[in-house]
Structure 1
Amino acid sequence: MSLTNFSGRLSPLGLILLAVTSVGWGLNFPIMKHLLSEWPPLSSRGLCGIAGAAALALFALAWRQKLTVPRAMWLRLLLVSTLTIGGWVAFMGLALLWLNASEAAVLGISIPVWVAFLAWPILGERLSPLRAVALTVALAGIAVLIGGHGIDASVEKLPGIAFALAGAVCVGLGTVLTKHFPLAMPPLSLAAWQIGLGCVPIAIVGLAVEQPQLAALSSVGWASLVYMTLIQFCLCYVCWFAALERLPAATASIGTLLVPVIGVLAAAAMLHEPLGLREIAALVFTLGGVAVALRS
């Protein structure tokens, strides 16, 4: 029995794996923000993603998962990969040029909001009154974050806000399309293909436009690249899929709400970003609304 044991208790190992995933993805926000001081966003994110996809492919082969893609599935795999991975990698990397890591982390949790809105016209999943209220509360949290320092400050950060929300919408649309056009592949193989297909064009554009220089990387910059490759794209995905095998999907989804919490706290500790009433209120509102929406 993979989800829970016979007593109905959640798998302790599944919860540990979920915690590793959430902490790893949460720490990535301040690490990405720091890396931008040394390397441009598209090149760093795209190249790390390609290396991470290759490592995941090796994991999949080691666990005897086939990497072959059915011919009829190529088009939808490419579409979903471009949205879910490519859109998130590119837009969130660009967003961090204007936003603090903590702000990007909070805006990133809006993904379930866009999933719910997009599932209505595409999948016919109507919003229940409770879920609609919960999503409104989550959007109110985002509004607190955006408008907390006044109109002038918000206008200055408008490109970053737009990029972050565009990334979240892309993931939401990709998630809904995955439900509409299921991708029947082993989980690690699917992750390897999605990350690879999503990151290759980002890396190509980054290398052509940004022209990154290896000499610009400090030891901390190299460590950040290694972290993004081995932890964010490899370890966290392996732990995520392993957790999904041991926990109900709803529990796993709510557990990922730890990601922005870790991101905000880590940004305050590592980058000395502000952690005041505005940030806490935005986090509480958004987390609370999304958590209720996921359970309703």
Structure 2
Amino acid sequence: MSHTSSRLSPEGILLLLGIGFGWGLNWPIMKYIISEIPPLSFRGFCLLLGGLGILALARIGGHSLRIPRAYWGKIFWVCLFNILAWNIMATFGLSLLPAGRSALLGYTMPLWTVLLSVLILKDSFSVRIGLALVLGLGGIFALLSDSLLSWFGGPLNSSLLLGAGLMVGAAWGWALGTVLLKRWKIPLHSVVLTGWLLLLASLPTLVAAAWFDGIPHSMPDQWALWGVVYNVFIGFMFCYWAWVRLVELVPVSVSSLSSLITPLIGVASSIILLGEEPGWPEISATLLILGAVAVVNWKPGNAKQKY
């Protein structure tokens, strides 16, 4: 298992950028796909192919695919929260909300991750982490400000509330799975572990898809199919592997707060691809989120000083 640093290394920065663009661009892509393909079928198919693809690459690379018997239970819980809960709730939440806002609600994950890492991992809650958390969440709430005001000042929109609840629940699942992954340090290569997590999550998802979605009655259009290809190779095979690797390299508070660049890209790509209109909330959130990423990776003075 790799040494854990409190800052992002060059490898960590490259992984973060890959995750940010890979998952950020995927929010508007997923929004379009689920208008053509039922959510469970879409997610189950991507999980299956992504998991099989990653395990095939691991085997070609000479890695053993065997999971030590003592770790099956731990892998089950990480898979349940980090992969299954996130994918199912986030996909249905996305169907009820704009893509950019869905991304931002899903990325309240750093708040829950930092709190859970303090409780479960006994991590220290430094001023630097606290400031980054405030800035990042400030950016998220800036983007949600008009929706929050409409909830309090206008008629109740049950679909918006349900969508928001699903996205926050997805964020909790992702956060808990990430903290458990860090705590247990499962002795598998990151490629092998990622492949098994995706493959195991695909099984109940496909069973649920067969039950609820049934047999498709028409072929999705070519853009939806290309979106599925993007999800399998970029959203699942690359980004999930990169996330597992990033969690190995740095504390979960650093990896989670640094990942706030992803919803920023999600909002920007939703504006470009789906025509969602920007305003002052998007501008202020941009500054706050970039500030959070800068603060969490900045150390004044001696680089060896502990925070």
Q: Are residue 165 (structure 1) and residue 163 (structure 2) matched?
A: no
Residue 111 (1) aligns with residue 109 (2): yes
The answer to whether the 8 Å contact 2:93/2:163 transfers is: yes
Are 1:221 and 2:224 matched, yes or no?
yes
Per the alignment, residue 249 of structure 1 pairs with 250
2:239 corresponds to which residue?
A: 236
Aligned to 1:24: 22
Q: Relative to structure 1, is the Cα distance of residues 275 and 244 closer, same or farther in structure 2, using a 3 angstrom cutoff? A: same
| Identity, % of aligned positions | 31
Match of 1:41 among 28, 33, 39: 39
- CA deviation string 1:175-203 (max 9, x = no partner): 11122222110110000011112232122
Mapped pair 1:78 → 2:81: no
One-letter amino acid matched to 1:202:
T
Look up the match of 2:180. 177
Contact 1:147 1:154 (8 Å CA) reproduced: no
What's 2:143 paired with? 145
Distance in 2 (alpha carbons) for counterparts of 1:205 and 1:77: 21
Paired residues in the alignment total: 287
- Distance in 2 separating the partners of 1:158 and 1:218: 30
Contact in 1 for aligned 2:45/2:206 (Cα 8 Å) = yes
Residue 103 of structure 2 contacts residue 263 of structure 2 at CA under 8 Å; is this kept in 1? yes
Whether the aligned pair in 1 keeps the contact of 2:54 and 2:192 (CA below 8 Å) is yes
Deviation at residue 20 of structure 1 after TM alignment: 3.4
Do the aligned partners of 2:182 and 2:247 also contact (CA within 8 Å) in 1? no
Shift of 1:23: 1.5
The one-character-per-residue Cα deviations of 1:84-111 (angstroms, maximum 9, x if unpaired) are 0111111110111111111122223222
Which amino acid in the other structure matches residue 193 of structure 2? L
State which drifts further: 267-276 or 153-162: 153-162
Query: In the alignment, which of 121, 124, 127 is matched to residue 125 of structure 2?
Result: 127
| Structure 1 gaps, min length 5 | 4-8
Change (3 A) 1:259 1:91: same
Change (3 A) 1:201 1:22: same
Which of 263, 266, 281 in structure 2 is aligned with 1:263? 266
Residue 93 of structure 1: aligned partner: 91
Deviates more, 1:112-121 or 1:228-237: 228-237
1:204 aligns with 2:207: yes
Q: Whole-Å Cα distance in 2 between the matches of residues 202 and 294 of structure 1?
A: 37
Structure 1 pair 291–176 and aligned structure 2 pair: CA distance change class (3 A): farther
SS in 1 for 2:218: helix
SS of 1:215 mapped into structure 2: coil
Contact 1:44 1:225 in 2 (8 A): yes
Question: Judging changes above 3 Å, is the alpha-carbon distance between structure 1 residues 263 and 180 closer, same or farther for their aligned structure 2 residues?
Answer: same
Report the CA distance between 1:169 and its aligned residue: 0.8
Change in Cα spacing, 1:195 to 1:136, as seen in structure 2 (3 Å) is same
Asked if 1 retains the 8 angstrom alpha-carbon contact of 2:258 and 2:293, the reply is no
Instruction: Quote how far apart the aligned CAs of 1:214 are.
Output: 5.9
